[in-house]
Amino acid sequence: MTKNIYYIVLILSLFSKCKHEKLVLPLCLNQNTELAIDTQAVIVLDSSIWVENKIFYPENNGYRFNYGVFNPNNNNLIAYIRNIRVYETNIPVEYPELWLYDFCTETSSLLYDKGAQFPHWNKFNSIIFTDKFGQIWKVGSDGSDLFRLTSIGQNLFGSWSPDGQRIVYRHTYGTESYTIIMNEYGVSLDTLKGLSRASNFSWSDDQRIHFTADSLNINDKSYSIWSYSLLDGFIEKFAYIADSKTDDNQIKKIKCFTNKEYVLAASKFGILKFQKGNSGTLIKQGYDNRWYQYLDISSDETTALIYRIERQKKGNWDANHYENLYLMDLMSGEEKQILISPN
């Protein structure tokens, strides 16, 4: 029954797509849509930031845009977090909300407004996310069927399997952490041995999960990208990153390509493409004031959806902080900022 519903949804999504089947920059956006061309020259003017005469939506406007992911059935739809920062009795308080954005209609819609991070969209049009209390929820992309999947501890880095029926995540309770696989209803299926330090999960297929970890075992204390086989529990080093994890080399998010030969990674250092056994090829350089925090890959694997941080130092202990979403052409490294007008 579930599979029949999936095929109906898939057929309907094909009819709802824009005329451009292939995702290319600037997607199916019309001429009225704002896309800022990215440059290294960022100038501060009256507490606002402008890039090539296009304005960011900065912190003093109350919004940060981050954690963007594609709809796997339709590259013209994304889910993202819109973070609102307000000051309550001079203390900054943030209210991250889960939103959808349609590049074709240039409209956004709110799905969840009680705190959200780490969204991930499956092929059955269900989106998982972690709330402000560390619990994983599931919601339909139309806002229906909101359902909590976990109830205790801190649960992060949730990632759907390609078949859309399982979720891998890191569960921490007290001082202990575990990597757990549960089904779409929140029922625990397996605890993966040897993965207590794993994070940033990405499935390369239904039987293999990639992740980052340091000091995974007593014989290898390196910080690396690893893979785990669900068939036999075999853990294999996919790519070496560094002897140990530091703030500068920490990988914030990885995403597997479907051919299983490559992994894309976002870090403070930049966007890197790893092949099994190599140390990574730099696609886009990061800078002291520009950090790459999160990414997703379009279904045709030509474009990445990037969450990027810009920091502009104001004094010895203070800085302007801006978080925005970008589209990156994976061949050229060209980036275009997505300017989502506040509703």
Structure confidence at residue 323 (pLDDT): 87
Given this model, what pLDDT does residue 271 score?
95
Q: What is the spatial distance between Cα 81 and Cα 209, in angstroms, rounded to a whole number?
A: 25
Residue 64 · residue 70 · CB < 8 Å? no
The model's pLDDT over 94-136, given as tens digits with 9 standing for 90+, comes to 789 999 999 888 889 999 999 999 999 999 999 999 999 999 9
pTM (two decimals): 0.83
Classify domain 2-338 at the CATH topology level.
Neuraminidase (2.120.10)
Q: What is the pLDDT of residue 342?
A: 62
Q: What is the pLDDT of residue 317?
A: 52
pLDDT value of residue 340: 79
User: What is residue 156's three-state secondary structure?
Assistant: strand
Q: Which residue has the tokens 């999947």?
A: 149
Cα angle at 67 between 306 and 63, to 5 degrees?
100
| Spatial CB neighbours of 106, under 8 Å, sequence gap ≥ 6 | 29, 30, 32, 33
What are the residue boundaries of the structural domains of the chain, listed by start? 2-338
The predicted pLDDT at position 32 comes to 37
The pLDDT of residue 195: 94
d(CA 192, CA 184): 18
What pLDDT is recorded for position 217? 78
Which residues of the chain carry a pLDDT beneath 70? 1-62, 85-88, 90, 92, 218, 259-260, 313-319, 342-343
SS3 329: strand
Q: By the 8 A CB rule, do 254 and 225 touch?
A: yes
pLDDT attached to residue 105: 84
Q: What is the pLDDT of residues 43-84, one digit of tens each?
A: 222 333 333 333 333 344 458 899 999 999 999 999 999 987
What is the model's pLDDT at position 54?
38
